[in-house]
Amino acid sequence: MGLASISTASEGIQFCIFDLRRGQNEGQELDKILFFFPADLPFSTQLSVIGLSEGLITFTRIFSPEAACEVIEAERHSHVFYEAEADIWMVMVVEKSKEAEAIWRIEDLRKVLKEVHSLFVMFYGPVRAMLEKEPNGGLIRSHLYPFIMDYLSAYQKRSPWDNCCWDFLVGKKLQLPSFRDCLKERGNVQMLTVGREAAIEVQSLVRILESCVGNTQCYSLILFQDLLVSTTLSPVDTINLFTYAVQRLTPHALSSGASSWSYLRRASTSSHAGSGSTLAHSGSVSEQIYHSSDFSPSGDNNNHVTRPLQHGKWSKGNDGFLVTDIWGVDAGSSMIASPTVWLQQTEERMYLCTYQYKGLTLILLMPVSSILNGEQGVSVVKQQVLENASLKILKVEEKLSKGWGGENAYHVGGYRYLLVDGDRNISRASPPGKVTTLTKESLLAMSKLREEVDLEKGRAKWDNAGLEKDLEVCIRAKNNAWVIARITRGKELYMVLEKANETLLYASDAFEKFSSRYCNGAFSLD
C-alpha cells in the first residue's frame, strides 16, 4: 500500500544528486547516485535519468567547459541542472503539465536546488568532504535522504501573512514554486528598515553579545519577527542561517508549531493528517529501501544522523534560549547537545545558540574548537548572555517593535513590486497578501518577463564580465496592467501596476516616483 501511494506521489517530478567522479566503470553505475527522489523508482529508471543528465553535461561541456548546461527543455519535461560542488550535480526533472498552475521559472527552480544544497552544507559540510570521509557513499546517502525529504516535506510557509504556499509536497504531488511566486526571490534575506538610533543600539547589542564568548572570534545574527536586523556573518552564511531561522527559529516558526507545519495546502486537501502520515510512511519505506539496498552503509551511522530540518523539534526554554533534541545528547555531560553548523566562510564548525525575547531572535555562533568543556562551556556563554545582554535586549526589542509597521509595513499603495539588491543579497517585496490580489494574467506576464530578464542577465554575465548591464523593460499586459523590470548596476526592481493609466509616460512616472522615494533614486538614471 505504501509503495502504491508513493508511486503516485512522485508522479511528474524527479530530483537527483549524483557524483560524476563515481561509478565510471561498467556495473558500478549505481555508485553515482547519492540521492534520488522518488526513492522507490526502480534503479533502472533512476539510472536512465542520471545517464541522460550525465550525457547532456558531458556534451555541453565541450562548448562551455566552465558552465555546462543549465536547463534542457524537452517536449514534456524540463531538466534543471545545478552543479552544487565540482562534479556533484543536482538535477530536477519536472513534467510540463497542461495545468496552468504548473508554470514556473527555471531560475526559481534552480534556486531551490541551490538552497537545499546550501542548507545541507551548513549542517554537514560539503558533500565532497563527506564522500572523502567515507568513500563507499553510505554516509552521504544516509544524510542526504532524510535531509532532503525533510526539506521537501516541511518547507514551511515563509511568514504569517504569506498566503502563497512554499510547500512543495501538496497532496500527492511535489508543489514547485510557480508563476505566483514571481514577486519573490529565493536565496535572499529580507531586512527590517531601522532608524539610526535603533541601528546603533542593535550594533551595541551585537558587540555585547559577541563579547560574551570571550576573545574568540564569533558571529551573530539578529532577527526581528521574520526580518533580518543585523549580521556579522559572510553573505552566504547569512542567507543560509536566515533561511533556517525563518523556517524553524523565529517566534512565528515556533508558534505555528505542528499544525501549520503541514506541507499541505489547506484548500487542496482535507485529509491533512492522512497525507502527513503518508509521507512519513513513504520516508520509512524509502529508508528501508536504502537500508536493504546493497550500497547501504554499515547501519549504525544511520542512528546518529541528525535531522535539523525536522519540524516541531524546536521550543523555547525557560531561560529564553531555544532548545531542541535534534542533535541528541552530549555523551560527556548527558545534557542535550547544542546544535552546530558549519560556516562556509571560515570552514569552521560553530555552536548555534539561539535566544528569543518577544519578536527578537538572537543567534550566536561560536567556534566548537574554542569552547572548552563542550556543553558546559556553552551554558557558561548562555549565562553570560543573560547577565550582560538582557537589559540591552529588552531595550532593542522595545525600540524595534515601536518602529515596526507590522506585516504590511513595506506595502506601497498601488504598486506590487520586488526589489532585489544583488550585491547585498537583500530583497524586499510587496506583502504576499497584497500580491495575491493581482490577476493571474499579471502574474503570468511578470513571470514571463522575469524569465526573459534571467536569460538576459545570464547572457550579460558571459558577454561582458566585469561590467554590469542596465536593463529596462516595460510591458503592457493583456489585462492592461503595466509589467516593468529595471536592472541598474546590480539592483533589480520589478513591478506590476494594475488599473493604471494607459500611457507609457504614466508608467514611467510611477516607476520614477517609486525609485526616488523607496530606493534612494537608485533606478532614476535618466
Min separation Cβ 472 and another protein, Å: 12
CB of 199 or CB of 368, closer to another protein = 199
Sheet containing 33-37: order of strands: 33-37, 13-19, 88-95, 77-85, 71-73
Min separation Cβ 437 and another protein, Å: 30
Min separation Cβ 199 and another protein, Å: 3
Min separation Cβ 204 and another protein, Å: 5
CB of 135 or CB of 521, closer to another protein = 521
The Cα 40–Cα 169 span in angstroms is 16
Min separation Cβ 238 and another protein, Å: 7
Question: Residue 273 is placed in which grid cell?
Answer: 493528517
Min separation Cβ 345 and another protein, Å: 10
Residues that bind another protein (CB under 8 A): 194-197, 199-201, 203-204, 207-208, 210-211, 217, 230-235, 238, 388, 423-424, 466-467, 470, 488-490, 520-522, 525-526
Question: Residue 423 is placed in which grid cell?
Answer: 550585491
CB of 84 or CB of 246, closer to another protein = 246
CB of 77 or CB of 424, closer to another protein = 424
Min separation Cβ 229 and another protein, Å: 9
Query: What's the longest Cα–Cα distance across the chain?
Result: 72
CB of 181 or CB of 210, closer to another protein = 210
CB of 103 or CB of 192, closer to another protein = 192
The Cα 59–Cα 62 span in angstroms is 6
Min separation Cβ 234 and another protein, Å: 6
Min separation Cβ 361 and another protein, Å: 17
CB of 112 or CB of 194, closer to another protein = 194
Site of grid cell 527555471:
106
Query: What Cα–Cα distance (Å) separates residue 446 from each residue in 115, 129, 418, 438, 496?
Result: 23, 40, 11, 11, 7
Give me the amino acid identity at 516. Answer: S
Site of grid cell 553548523:
341
Q: Are the C-beta atoms of residues 167 and 265 closer than 8 Å to each other?
A: yes
CB of 426 or CB of 435, closer to another protein = 426
Q: 3-state SS string over 446-471?
A: HHHHHHHHHHHHHHHHHHCCCCCCCE
Give the number of other Cβ atoms within 10 Å of residue 371's Cβ: 22
107-143 burial: b if 16+ Cβ within 10 Å, else e? bbbbbbbbbbbbbbbbbbbbbbebbeeeeebbbbbbb
Q: Are the C-beta atoms of residues 477 and 447 closer than 8 Å to each other?
A: no
**Burial (CB count <10 Å: 0-12, 13-18, 19+), residue 203:** middle
Min separation Cβ 456 and another protein, Å: 17
Task: Give SS3 for 26.
Answer: coil
DSSP 13: E
Task: Give SS3 for 144.
Answer: helix
Min separation Cβ 233 and another protein, Å: 7
CB of 209 or CB of 309, closer to another protein = 209
CB of 204 or CB of 333, closer to another protein = 204
CB of 45 or CB of 516, closer to another protein = 516
Q: What is the DSSP string of 158-203?
A: SSTT--S---SEETTEE----GGGTT--SS-B-B----HHHHHHHH
